[in-house]
Amino acid sequence: MESIKNVELVRKANIYFDGNVTSRTFIEANGDKKTLGIMMVGEYTFGTNDAELMEIIAGECEVRLKDSTEWNTYTENTSFNVTANSSFDIIVKVITDYCCSFIK
């Protein structure tokens, strides 16, 4: 199991979509902000302020980026990028564990 050492953890959970998506924010020693979370089966739309790297740790989802008609499937050990000030639609097929890195 991969671990992340020497981080500042924000205790309060991020809870979205009536609790179907939850995450915890942490800040690495170099100042990089990330979240680790779980998405339950369902369909969601997320907006972004910063650019993001979404890494799928476990699970399966389909993603459509803003202004795209194409859906792409992501599973364990895959990732996708989302531009700043954008959005993406996601269909979670099975419970999905993820890490989101905010890129400045």
Cβ neighbors of 46 (< 8 A, separation 6 or more) are 16, 82, 87, 88, 90
Predicted local distance difference test score (pLDDT) of residue 1: 52
- Domain limits, the chain: 7-103
Q: What is the rounded CA–CA span in Å between residue 7 and residue 38?
A: 20
List the pLDDT tens digit at each of the 104 positions of the chain.
578 889 999 999 999 999 999 999 999 999 999 999 999 999 999 999 999 999 999 999 999 999 999 999 999 999 999 999 999 999 999 999 999 999 98
- Report domain 7-103's class: mainly beta
Q: Which residue has the tokens 């972004």?
A: 48
